[in-house]
Amino acid sequence: MAKPNLGGALGPTDGLVATWLDLRARLVGGCCGTGAAELRALADQLEQGRPR
């Protein structure tokens, strides 16, 4: 699933990471406007998820 964002405010992904893991997501990343801080926050949440 892709959710393009052409601007505006980005919402928090905290509740989504567990869902992505449950759906067996194999790749998680960002798009325009995603910086190192956002990617680190995603990585931290993914590391807390179950092992692959």
Mean pLDDT computed over 25-32: 80
The model's confidence at residue 1, banded by pLDDT at 50, 70 and 90, is low
21 CB-near residues (< 8 Å, 6+ apart): 46, 49, 50
5 CB-near residues (< 8 Å, 6+ apart): 31, 32, 33
Q: What is the mean pLDDT of the chain?
A: 75
pLDDT number for residue 11:
63
pLDDT number for residue 18:
82
Given a cut of 70, whether residue 15 has pLDDT beyond it is yes
- pTM metric for this prediction: 0.59
Q: Which of 4, 1, 18, 47 is nearest to 34 (CA)?
A: 4
CB count within 10 Å of CB 42 equals 19
